[in-house]
A and B are shown apart, each in its own frame.
Chain A
Amino acid sequence: AQSVTQLDSQVPVFEEAPVELRCNYSSSVSVYLFWYVQYPNQGLQLLLKYLSGSTLVKGINGFEAEFNKSQTSFHLRKPSVHISDTAEYFCAVSLNNAGNMLTFGGGTRLMVKP
């Protein structure tokens, strides 16, 4: 079985500051890694995914994440956040590269303050 731990339930940050949202996973087999964002009263939107190749993955809205196999981590970063980045962020793993049957972490609420 797989599990995902998001170490911070809330991350407050000022506008234009950098941010890192942490994600660690556990699995006995190889997994594929995903980050999703959920804006209030909306569904989930895919930010980025790691399937293979370069461990640094770039996504939408200026976000990027780095896969670290030895640390079993997949932390999400953005060098300068905007008020509009305020949302809930979910890290997830899947056994297939289509990203089906996802196992999600508990989420991190990013709160960007002016």
Chain B
Amino acid sequence: ETGVTQSPTHLIKTRGQQVTLRCSSQSGHNTVSWYQQALGQGPQFIFQYYREEENGRGNFPPRFSGLQFPNYSSELNVNALELDDSALYLCASSRNGQGQETQYFGPGTRLLVL
């Protein structure tokens, strides 16, 4: 059973650019969540996808968007990057609809916006 993986591990972009981060769910998991963790802070919930549909969203603007694919892997897209978007982006997967399943986190992608 493989864990949650994310790519790339690190990324540097400039203000105004667009970025795509990728997440591969743990085998058998149908739900993916994305979190933003700014330096020295706790993670903040961005959105969640269940069976390819967004089914929950935190307080993030529309320039944060996502996709979930039929194999349950996921992408986080951020348009018009701002300096404050610099953070660790964490992906988490779980198997909802099957009872009290634990959510597993990936190691994250560290994004630096200059």
A interface residues, Cβ below 8 angstroms from B: 4, 6, 36, 41-46, 51, 90, 92, 97-107
Contacts and interface: CB of A to CB of B under 8 A. Distances in A.
Interface string B30-45: 0101010000111111
B96 A98 contact: yes
Contacts of B100: 51, 97-98
Contacts, number: 61
Given A43-B90, A43-B108, A101 B42 contact: no
B94 interface: yes
Nearest to B100: A97
Main secondary structure of the interface of A (DSSP, over half): loop
A43 B56 contact: no
B105 A100 contact: no
Interface residues of B, number: 25
Contact of A100 (B31, B41, B90): B31
Nearest to A34: B103
B103 A107 contact: no
Given A98-B100, A99-B94, A102-B43, 6 more contacts: A42-B107, A43-B4, A51-B100, A90-B43, A101-B56, A102-B35
Nearest to A51: B100
A43 B107 contact: yes
A19 B100 CA distance: 29
Contacts of A4: 42
User: Considering residues B43, B48, B92, which has the most beta carbons from chain A within 10 angstroms of its beta carbon?
Assistant: B43
Interface string B57-92: 010000000000000000000000000000000101
